[in-house]
Amino acid sequence: MSLAEYVVLFLLVALMGAGLPGPGDASLIAAGTLAGEGKLNVGIVLATALVAWMLGSAAGYAIGIHGGRRLLDHPGRLEERRRKLLAKGDRAFGRHTFVASVTMPAFVSGIFRVRFWMFVLGGWSLVSAGSGCTSGFHTSLARRSRSASETAAPKRCLVCS
- 77-117: pLDDT as tens digits: 887 887 887 787 777 777 666 776 676 777 777 777 777 77
For residue 52, what is the enclosing H or E element? helix 42-63
Average pLDDT over residues 125-136: 60
Q: Rounded CA gap, 113 and 97, in Å?
A: 9
Q: 17 pLDDT exceeds 80?
A: yes
Amino acid residing at 22: G
Number of H helices, E strands in the chain: 8, 0
Supply the mean pLDDT for the chain.
75
Give yes or no for a contact between 115 and 138, defined as CB atoms under 8 angstroms apart: no
Higher pLDDT among residues 97 and 154, named by residue:
97
Distant-in-sequence, close-in-space partners of 9: CB < 8 Å, separation ≥ 6 = 27, 28, 31, 45, 48, 49, 52
Query: Residue 22: its pLDDT value, please?
Result: 83
